Amino acid sequence: MKVSINGATTTQWDIQAVADSLPVEQGTTYYYSVWAKAQKSGAQVNFTVGYYSTGEIQAIRPATLTTEWKKFTMQLTVNDNQSYIRAPIHFSYTANTNNVVYIDNLQIIDENFGKTPVIAEAESGTVGSGFSVLQSDDITFVTANTNHEGLTSPGDSSRVITYNVTFQDSGYYNLFARLRVGSGTFNDDSFFYAKGFGEKNDTASTDWVFINGLANVGFSDSAHVVDGMGTAGSQIWKWVNLTNNSYSGSPVDSFYVSLDSLTKTFQIGSREDGLDIDKLAFGKSNLYFTVNALDNELPGSLTPEIPDSSNFYQGPQLAEGLPKFLGNVKDIYDNNFANYWNQLTPGNEGKWGSVANTSDTSTWNWSALNALYNYSREHNLIYKHHTLIWGAQQPSWISGLDSTAQYNYIETWIRMVGERYPEIDMVDVVNEPLAGHNPPDGLNGRANYKKALGGSGATGWDWVIKSFELARQYLPDAELLLNDYGIINDNSSTYLYLQIINLLKDRNLIDGIGVQGHRFEFESASTTTLKYNLDRLAATGLPVYISEMDLGNYNDSGTPHDATQLQLYQKIFPVLWQHPGVQGITLWGYIEGQMWQPTCYLVHTDGTWRPALDWLAQYIKENPTGTEEVVNTIPSEFKLEQNFPNPFNPTTNISYSVAAPIMVTLKVYDVLGREIKTLVNNLQSPGNYTITFDARGLSSGVYFYRLSAGDFNVSKKLMLLK
């Protein structure tokens, strides 16, 4: 607005411009802002806000203008039961005579202006014929009619939905989606969204972001912040933050909206059927939004809202001080984790696809992984990195490179992990390598860099061997593990797994064996088969670790059933925990709403425990293991054996004999005689015992262990070599 002042009176409002009849809400705080300048410096104006009945409530009087644009601001809160305000600007100052004043972009906005998410119901756009609009209960959603797995773009306009989205404010926005992955899990979890605003070419892959791997990510609990990848599972409605996380795609930068163009065109495209989409949301990229905020279009916050955890368990850890760990996968905002568990595994945050959104290594996002690693160090938890090499959830750009470039990036990824996290205790070097599982072979949407690592080669597993060679080079102090699913419940899979393990063992490349323990592996498994295959793996001399364990309803279907979960834990867990070859168990989630298998949670959102966890805690207390009577005959004398293996890294077994009921202690000391760890301190019956000593966290060197049982006191030397 241009105001020319040719003369002035003694009443400043004799010349004024008024923003009139502005509706307001009682008790709300508003922010006033306006830009102004003058043709000649020294002009003066009054910026005011007031009620019709009771007069002025806030003012800048006078505001002195220069020839440069300047922003003037003030804050006001509406009271006195007023429904409307007015905002006059007064110009009648003598100093303004024969001058020109310019006014621009006057805004009076409430404190939450621009902070609420902009919601687009999935069915509200122009829906292509390749989608169906369906309804379940009170939710209307869209789903693809046919499966188009293998495409890198929608491929046809019928498989595109186009939206016109109007924003309240300018700025950078993140994209969210509320969706549900079907019963096909990883075969029902991909779609496309457009790179930026505007209509796209439906056959040009460069115009689209390919989103995959949604089956085990996202957030469903109302209090959780939708920021990281999350761990919510399939067949539930959940929110995902598409901009901040790659989900196997290459996300576009935050979406930018300018003041002169607040209405934008946006598109999505179908890929796999079985994926239901309820709504899309755009939220300011500098704000954090909870599930509740996105569900109810509430303002985001400048800092993440941490759920109240005062009613959660406060410790001690369920396996505190025991020779075997009981760990879990950690959600980034879970501040109670260390009260329950003494080993930490990152979920999606440690996967290459979560870090490397682009091929520019300087832009790789390590922030979430940093937080989890630092938490493990601060709370003295065993940290297992998951994972270095896998066919799923890998950078989308890696498969398009030649083998030489792929190898260089793989080596860079492993090197950077080793450099950034030098105190990694354990690492899943290769995850799910067996054929038909998830090797990086390019099949079924997987990453395609197996050839870059040597392919099958002469051994059939050269690519796995090369992966471990790189891990040994760049993570020399970490315990290197292989990890896969469907192993100990299947004799044939165990046989194939042992082939890889022995190839690695012959080359001194593997330090431990990981076997996943998901519901679908164990719920119908024979305990005889489980023990038999654990025996086969333990015969290698390598420690065995149960990873990714979860139990709940059969088939993870229906309302969570406490009795079923309890029965499964009582059936399966003792077989694993009591096996002398098993040195630790990692559960795969524990809080309601954070599980990729929704019925498998152990703790309700209010902190209360399900019966399975009550039983589990008591069972571990009564069966601390690490000690196991291995011979039924009663020894004729007390005896302490030399540990085996020796030297060792990081675990070794110590065997001893007890000839009569007596109080037994077994302790480890350093060369200065300082006590390092108590392994046994209880009354024991006659028998032969073996305990595993875990020396993670100790420095290389000579240590002594001492067995005391009445008058029997014997010490022996052991050597830790890292």
User: Active-site residue numbers?
Assistant: 432, 548
Q: Identify any residues that bridge with 648 across adjacent strands, giving them in sequence order.
A: 720
Rounded to whole angstroms, the Cα distance separating 488 from 527 reads: 10
Rounded to whole angstroms, the Cα distance separating 20 from 30 reads: 16
Rounded to whole angstroms, the Cα distance separating 505 from 219 reads: 40
Rounded to whole angstroms, the Cα distance separating 580 from 453 reads: 35
Residue 481 and residue 426 in contact, taking contact as beta carbons nearer than 8 Å: yes
Beta strands at 131-136 and 139-144: parallel, antiparallel or unpaired: antiparallel
Beta strands at 479-484 and 426-431: parallel, antiparallel or unpaired: parallel
Coil, strand or helix at 445: helix
Rounded to whole angstroms, the Cα distance separating 564 from 250 reads: 41
Angle at 346 between CA 344 and CA 347, to 5 degrees: 130
- Residue 530 is encoded by which pair of tokens? 């489980």
Residue 704 and residue 669 in contact, taking contact as beta carbons nearer than 8 Å: yes
- Residue 195 is encoded by which pair of tokens? 């790179």
Rounded to whole angstroms, the Cα distance separating 324 from 44 reads: 77
Rounded to whole angstroms, the Cα distance separating 580 from 586 reads: 16
SS3 per residue for 95-163: HHCCEEEEEEEEEEEECCCCCCCEEEEHHHCEECCCEEEEEECCEEEEEECCCCCCCCCCCCHHHEEEE
List b or e across 472-487, with b for residues whose CB sees 16 or more CB atoms inside 10 angstroms: bebbeebbbbbbbbbb
Coil, strand or helix at 268: strand
Per the rule left: phi > 0, alpha: psi between -120 and 50, beta: everything else, 669 is beta
Residue 492 and residue 450 in contact, taking contact as beta carbons nearer than 8 Å: no
Cis peptide before 316 (omega within 30 of 0): yes
Residue 99 and residue 271 in contact, taking contact as beta carbons nearer than 8 Å: no
Read off the amino acid at residue 437.
H
Residue 628 and residue 689 in contact, taking contact as beta carbons nearer than 8 Å: yes
